[in-house]
């Protein structure tokens, strides 16, 4: 006999969950069907991104160079102060030995005078205050004590200065590490992008750079501009002798260079010392507009002045561009950032 029991109604909550899940599945499948395949950047897009990363790496490199220069300067200053403190301590010890001899002589002649007992106090300032009431000090004793007093103050100041510079050095070393890590991160990211290119695309990019470099070199040859001065001409000539040498962050030659490393090296060979970093180099000499530039003048690019080269004439510069390149000629209009000003040293 057939059962007449009513079929069990599905649970309302369960129906809602199943309906929602089904709708989501349909939506996902529809999205997957309509989604465009992932875009692989072409060589021009990769080049633009890599150039931007190299620019950021060069910014960090110049800050790294500045921190490194500061570290070296602080280390020299601290060493000089510490040497001075050591010599001053020796002088102070001799002065104190002289006071001890005076006390010994008085003791052997019948006891130490109260004034001399104060004289040997560890606090000369306190002694002078008290000694003024004794009226028993000779001019020689007062002069000797004042020397001790002055030397102690001098040493205290020098030790405080050294302590401050040591703190500054610790901060600078931390900054140095941070900048180095930042540079390496940018370069690693750029290399990963370059690795996405095919061999044919890499060859095409290299060929483009070589054509641009040859074109700039030809424009320099045809320009035949005059130099700003004898030392500017000499600096430019020395820089020309480094054409083809690789860029390397923090390098100052003679086997590799970064941008400010090349300019500082070239001028040093001409007998002119200029600061190490592009930012510091921008603050020397006479500033120039583009129309005033002559061969050998320093030329600065980007708002923060993180790139520098030597003017080569006819709108071209000689510089160490960035990682992956060599010292070469290049048009001022293809640097990647605006020309800010020139400097005549």
203, part of any domain? no
Predicted local distance difference test score (pLDDT) of residue 89: 87
Q: CATH code at 182? A: 1.10.287
Question: Is 306 a residue of the active site?
Answer: no
Among 160, 192, 224, identify where a domain stops.
Answer: 192
Does one domain contain both 154 and 216?
no
Q: CATH code at 310? A: 3.90.1720.10
Does one domain contain both 121 and 162?
yes
pLDDT in tens, 306-340: 999 999 999 999 999 998 899 999 999 999 899 99
30, part of any domain? no
Instruction: Identify whether the C-beta of residue 304 lies closer than 8 Å to the C-beta of residue 314.
Output: no
Catalytic residue among 4, 31, 273, 319: 319
Parts of the chain with a pLDDT under 70: 1-39, 99-142, 224
Residues whose CB is less than 8 angstroms from the CB of residue 127 and which lie 6 or more positions away in sequence, other chains included: 118, 119, 121, 145
- For the chain, the domain total comes to 2
pLDDT in tens, 47-58: 889 989 998 999
Does one domain contain both 84 and 176?
yes
94, part of any domain? yes
Catalytic residue among 4, 31, 273, 307: 307
Distance of CA 21 to the CA centre of its chain: 57
Among 192, 218, 238, identify where a domain stops.
Answer: 192
Question: Is 273 a residue of the active site?
Answer: no
19, part of any domain? no
Does one domain contain both 145 and 284?
no
Question: Is 319 a residue of the active site?
Answer: yes
Does one domain contain both 252 and 338?
yes
Does one domain contain both 65 and 175?
yes
Catalytic residue among 4, 31, 39, 259: 259
320, part of any domain? yes
233, part of any domain? yes
- What residue numbers bound the domain in which 316 lies? 210-344
């Amino acid at each position: 006999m057939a059962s007449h029991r009513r079929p069990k109604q599905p649970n309302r909550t369960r129906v809602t969950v199943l309906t929602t899940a089904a709708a989501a599945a349909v939506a996902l499948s529809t999205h997957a069907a309509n989604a465009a395949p992932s875009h692989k950047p072409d060589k021009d897009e990769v080049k633009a991104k890599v150039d931007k990363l190299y620019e950021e790496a060069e910014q960090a490199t110049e800050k790294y160079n500045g921190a490194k220069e500061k570290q070296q300067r602080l280390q020299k200053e601290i060493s000089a102060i510490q040497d001075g403190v050591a010599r001053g301590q020796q002088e102070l010890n001799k002065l104190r030995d002289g006071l001890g001899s005076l006390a010994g002589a008085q003791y052997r002649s019948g006891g130490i005078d109260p004034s001399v007992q104060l004289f040997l106090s560890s606090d000369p300032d306190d002694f002078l205050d008290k000694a003024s009431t004794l009226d028993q000090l000779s001019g020689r004793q007062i002069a000797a004590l004042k020397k001790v007093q002055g030397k102690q103050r001098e040493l205290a100041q020098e030790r405080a200065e050294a302590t401050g510079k040591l703190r500054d050095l610790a901060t600078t070393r931390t900054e140095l590490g941070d900048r180095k890590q930042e540079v390496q991160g940018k370069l690693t990211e750029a290399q990963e992008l370059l690795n996405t290119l095919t061999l044919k695309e890499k060859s095409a990019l290299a060929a483009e750079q070589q054509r641009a470099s040859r074109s700039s070199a030809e424009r320099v040859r045809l320009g035949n501009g005059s130099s700003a001065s004898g030392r500017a001409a000499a600096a430019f000539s020395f820089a020309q002798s480094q054409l083809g040498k690789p860029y390397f962050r923090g390098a100052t030659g003679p086997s590799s260079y970064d941008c400010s490393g090349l300019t500082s090296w070239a001028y040093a060979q001409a007998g002119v010392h200029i600061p190490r970093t592009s930012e510091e180099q921008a603050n020397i000499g006479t500033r120039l507009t583009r129309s005033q530039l002559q061969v050998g003048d320093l030329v600065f690019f980007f708002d923060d002045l993180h790139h520098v080269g030597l003017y080569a004439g006819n709108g071209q510069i000689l510089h160490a561009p960035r990682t992956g390149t060599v010292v070469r000629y290049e048009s001022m209009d293809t640097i990647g950032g605006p020309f800010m000003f020139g400097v005549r040293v």
